[in-house]
Structure 1
């Protein structure tokens, strides 16, 4: 049985979310700050609008973490007419380097994946130093 690494989620995460239709997946960068059970932060992404144009958009996020369950609401800042919110519900991997789950709005839903590359790098370095 694998146990969850006790790890704070604060840091830079790279992500990807997909749409249920023919729109291309969107990559994003999220900066998470975990304080107690609370999560806050920001998201920067290049997203496709309804006409197929690509736009740079920003959002804030606010949510909670309970063990491996991670949930937050991403709210766009209003630039380029994007001012709606998106709910994310995911599960943290045992090594605390990935969050995978579903996002939803009243009209849409899809899957997402967030990866914290720095977490894997630190773990690999610790393993190397442990052998030396």
Structure 2
């Protein structure tokens, strides 16, 4: 099963016009949740969905100050290396199916945290003793 937890950068197309977005996916087994920030007036959204094998599906729900919540359905396929995905989205059939794609952000926060912890933790007691407080 694919693991997509982390930060992603993507694009979706609406009537031929691209919109960039940044997504943070949190995967627990098949369950998926997270946040998306569109580079448009629509702004921030939450997401909930699932990953089954290499297939992904989720509903993106925009957070709106008007308390109206617009939801968008996404379906797609995750690449073999777990670093990209692509598919189709639709707004409940109103705009037809449109393309989207996303790529794992090179600045994966989980990997950065692991590197930081590995570098910062002393490897032995002599190293610990040499640290001046």
Picking from 5, 8, 11, the partner of 2:6 is 11
Alignment CA distance shift 1:80-1:9 (3 Å): same
Q: Which structure has the larger Rg over C-alpha atoms?
A: 2
Deviation sequence 1:107-126 (CA, Å, 0-9, x none): 11300001003399x8xxxx
Q: Which runs of 5+ in 1 are unaligned?
A: 1-5, 48-54, 123-132
Tell me, yes or no, if the aligned pair for 2:7 and 2:107 is still in contact at 8 Å: no
TM-score under structure 2 length normalisation: 0.72
- What is the aligned partner in structure 2 of residue 52 from structure 1? none
Deviation sequence 1:50-79 (CA, Å, 0-9, x none): xxxxx2610000000011000000000113
Alignment length, in residue pairs? 107
- What is the aligned partner in structure 2 of residue 64 from structure 1? 50
TM-score under structure 1 length normalisation: 0.73
Show structure 1 runs of 4+ deviating over 4 A: none
Q: Secondary structure at the match of 2:106?
A: helix
Tell me, yes or no, if the aligned pair for 2:2 and 2:54 is still in contact at 8 Å: no
